[in-house]
Amino acid sequence: MRLGMQAVTIRDKAIVLAEHPDPVPEAGELLVRVRAAGLNGADILQMKGFYPAPPGVPADIPGLEFAGEVVAAGRGAERFEVGDRVMAIVAGGGQAELITVHERVAMPVPEELDWTAAGGVPEVFTTAHDALFTQGGLTTGERLLVHGAAGGVGMAAVQLGVMAGARVTATVRNEQARSQVAALGVNAIAPEGFEDAGPFDVILELVGAPNFAGNLQALAMNGRLCIIGVGAGAKVESFDLRALMGKRARIHGSTLRARSLEEKAACARAVERVVLPGFASGDLSVPVTATFPLGEAPAAYERFQAGGKLGKIVLEV
């Protein structure tokens, strides 16, 4: 094990590469040599100072997901062996050569996935599965609307919706990306006037407050609006509670990052059980737009912020 791992590092609201002490696995933890780590919107927010890492997580190393090889196990960690391929969501620190993770949060990497694809799986598929099914209660035959479907979570949600037998509509701003999303077998539409395409039993909001009024209008009776992304704004200016009451609808808000170990472990077990088999069956794939070596992380962050991407941007370590 080398001393002084390289890691993507936030300095003065910008991305640099820097050396950090190698992490040491505590009881129940794995030490993992990271092979790939996806970028997420929260990394950008953290870089800009809006989304600080929770306690117990390296404050200056971003990265909410990774895939890599187990190189050591802490006391009592027994789920994996040295050399196993694992992937996980973490509250930070994923974009580094080494990371520690509690073994109960780690998932085995399906054989079908190479390192790059695996590095882009945990955050988006866990987020989408939790929002659509655990919270939203999406079930077969229901009508699902995914806002901002070209992004990582959106692409995961669209695929999971199709796999679940839901009737899926997706809004995609970029016209070229829209036709690629449509190729997944869904009704891909422009965001403008989406409310006329309803009603929808479940709406997954990955864009933000500007869609709120239209979402209330487009919800079906007993509809569920799951809000997990607000990049385009979080402030709703007007909310008529009667619209919610009349439809007996509900609104969920959620983030994964601040959840407890137990909650994240429960999410990981759910994803192992019902999502990962979808990669073997061909129902699911990981759309990767671009990859960058760890050393070119600043360029990867620029690419992420440029928008118009379809799926994931992944750092290869």
Select from 9-17, 168-176, 252-260, 274-282 the region that touches a second copy (CB under 8 A). Answer: 252-260
Rounded to the nearest whole angstrom, what is the least distance from the CB of residue 137 to a second copy in the complex?
11
Residues 6+ apart with CB under 8 A from 136: 202, 204, 224, 226, 252
d(CA 14, CA 18): 12
- The position carrying tokens 């679940």 is 164
Residue 218 engages a second copy in binding (rule: CB under 8 A):
no
Binding of a second copy at residue 252 (CB under 8 A)?
A: yes
Contact 189, 170 (CB under 8 A): yes
45 binds a second copy (CB under 8 A): no
Segment interacting with a second copy (CB under 8 A) among 142-150, 155-163, 232-240, 272-280: 232-240
Using the minimum distance from each CB to a second copy, give the nearer residue, 192 or 240: 240
Residue 92 touches a second copy, criterion: CB under 8 A: no
CB of 256 to a second copy, least distance (A): 9
Q: Give the x-and-dash track for 135-154 against a second copy (CB under 8 A).
A: x-------------------
Instruction: Pick the stretch among 21-29, 31-39, 120-128, 253-261 that binds a second copy (CB under 8 A).
Output: 253-261
**Cα 155 from chain centroid (whole Å):** 10
Q: What is the full DSSP assignment across 66-113? A: EEEEEEEE-TT--S--TT-EEEEE-SS--SBSEEEEETTT-EEPPTT-
The two three-digit tokens of residue 268, written as one number: 């990981």
Determine which residue in the list 44, 162, 220, 236 makes contact with a second copy, applying CB under 8 A: 236
Asked if 261 is part of the footprint of a second copy (rule: CB under 8 A), the reply reads no
Instruction: For the CB of residue 249, give the shortest distance to a second copy in the complex, in Å.
Output: 6
Q: Is 208 helix (H, G, I), strand (E, B) or coil?
A: coil
- The pair phi, psi for residue 199, each rounded to 5°, is -80, 160
Q: Helices 152-163 and 175-182, interaxial angle, to 10°?
A: 20
How many of the chain's residues bind a second copy (CB under 8 A)? 31
Residues that bind a second copy (CB under 8 A): 135, 208-209, 212, 227-228, 230, 234-255, 258-259
